[in-house]
Amino acid sequence: MRVLVTGGAGFIGSRLANQLHRSGHYVRVLDDLSSGDPSQLSQGINFNRGDVRDVPKLWSLLQRVDVVYHLAARVSVPASILYPREYNEVNVGGTVSLLEACRDVGGVQRVVFASSATVYGDQDVQPVNEAMATHPAVPYAVSKLAAEQYLFTLGRLGGFETVAMRIFNAYGPGQPVPPAHAPVIPQFVQQILGGGSVVVNGDGGQTRDFVYIDDVVEALIRAGEESGVDGQIINVGSGEETSIRDLVETISRIVRQDANVLYNREAAGGIARLVADVTKAGRLLHYRPRVQLEAGLRKLLERDAGLRRAASGIHAPSATHNASGELPPMGATSTGSS
């Protein structure tokens, strides 16, 4: 196939692009490099710097493309509360621009959209399945839900297939750790290894579904290849529910170092529980999550050079982390680097 990956220099996007390239597909990447790193891309991938809202550029990049993986987005939940207009412009406007360009150019067979589990919000029943009513509680989640609706509507009108993948909390080697609103797992690992304090909002009983990057990439690739998925919403998670408190304890056990945990019980801990029902992914994509959390954390420590340095005695400064788990699965804060 000939493939375009938007946000393809980001954490998930670069792994996806590299795996597609290894599988023999021709891969183009679009990324604005607000947080992406093109050095992570394999030689032979056609990299293009640009904004996903630039329709003329999209016209050029979509020539002879069969499948589009749309990962370009801004993804920080806390930042979306501060800058909702920007999140709407990029996450919704960027998606509409891409879909318009797909319609205009013609020839695109399918668009696979990286949505977010945050659209579910608080639910009375766990695990969550794709048929449940959504309760987005933050602008980031609203933007992803709106983008899903544009995806299906414009895909139907434009004559190309569409799939929305609701990704839960992805983690793995090479995940960026920005100074503010960092992804929970690498930030916890850094803080515990460095002897700093981990500040958990709430009592740490809130739960999340942490899914290893290799499993996410496998699900995304299959969504671009399998038949019978047009118009579908599909969860991508581990199906394993883990509390923030248990996450800290598991990391401490693996790195053999006690965590200095401070619970900020006056602060909200975010969504109380969130874990994926992956039955539909198994049925439509033959997806089975392969990496359980403890094994994934060990892979993270083995394969992430920055964390290996921390484990060798380089101490990170103590920092307060919003460990509510109310963090986007994509793990990056970028216009084009999901």
Concatenate the DSSP letters of all residues of 275-286 into one string.
-B--HHHHHHH-
Half-sphere exposure of 84 (CA within 13 A, CB side): 6
Report yes or no on 94 lying in a domain: yes
- Map residue 36 onto helix, strand or coil: coil
283 contact partners, CB below 8 Å, separation of at least 6: none
Report yes or no on 121 lying in a domain: yes
- CB burial of 58-88 (b: ≥16 within 10 Å; e: otherwise) equals beebbeebebbbbbbbbbbbbbbeeeeebbb
**What's the average model confidence in pLDDT over 255-282?**
92
pLDDT at 85 over 90: yes
119 contact partners, CB below 8 Å, separation of at least 6: 134, 136, 141, 144, 145, 148, 166
pLDDT digits 0-9 by tens, 115-166: 999 999 999 999 999 999 999 999 999 999 999 999 999 999 999 999 999 9
Query: For position 147, which CATH number holds?
Result: 3.40.50.720
Nearest to 99 by CA among 28, 29, 154: 154
Task: Report the mean per-residue pLDDT for the chain.
Answer: 91
- Residue holding tokens 């101490």? 315
Quote helix, strand, coil % in the chain, to nearest 5: 40, 20, 40
Contact predicate 248/204, CB 8 Å: yes
Q: List alpha helices for 54-133, DSSP H.
A: 55-61, 77-82, 84-87, 93-105
What's the pLDDT score for residue 251?
96
DSSP secondary structure of 228-243: S-TTEEEEES-S--EE
DSSP 128: B
Contact predicate 17/45, CB 8 Å: yes
Q: Which amino acid is at 307?
A: L
Contact predicate 327/77, CB 8 Å: yes
DSSP 16: H
What's the pLDDT score for residue 313?
55
pLDDT winner (highest mean) among 26-35, 257-266, 300-309: 26-35
Domain count, the chain: 1
Report yes or no on 223 lying in a domain: yes
- Radius of gyration (Cα) for the chain, nearest Å? 19
Report yes or no on 194 lying in a domain: no
- Confidence tier at 311 by pLDDT (50, 70, 90): low
Structure tokens at 120: 């579910």
- Map residue 224 onto helix, strand or coil: helix
Would you say how long the chain is, in residues?
Answer: 338
Model pTM score: 0.92
187 contact partners, CB below 8 Å, separation of at least 6: 177, 319, 321, 323
pLDDT digits 0-9 by tens, 190-233: 999 988 899 898 899 999 999 999 999 999 999 999 999 999 99
**Domain that residue 13 falls in:** 2-169+211-236
Report yes or no on 62 lying in a domain: yes
Report yes or no on 64 lying in a domain: yes
**Which residues face 243 on adjacent strands?**
207
Active-site entry in 69, 120, 140, 287: 140
- Confidence tier at 325 by pLDDT (50, 70, 90): very low
Report yes or no on 299 lying in a domain: no
State yes or no: is 263 an active-site residue: no
pLDDT at 37 over 90: yes
Report yes or no on 142 lying in a domain: yes
Q: Return d(Cα 219, Cα 212) in angstroms, integer.
A: 11
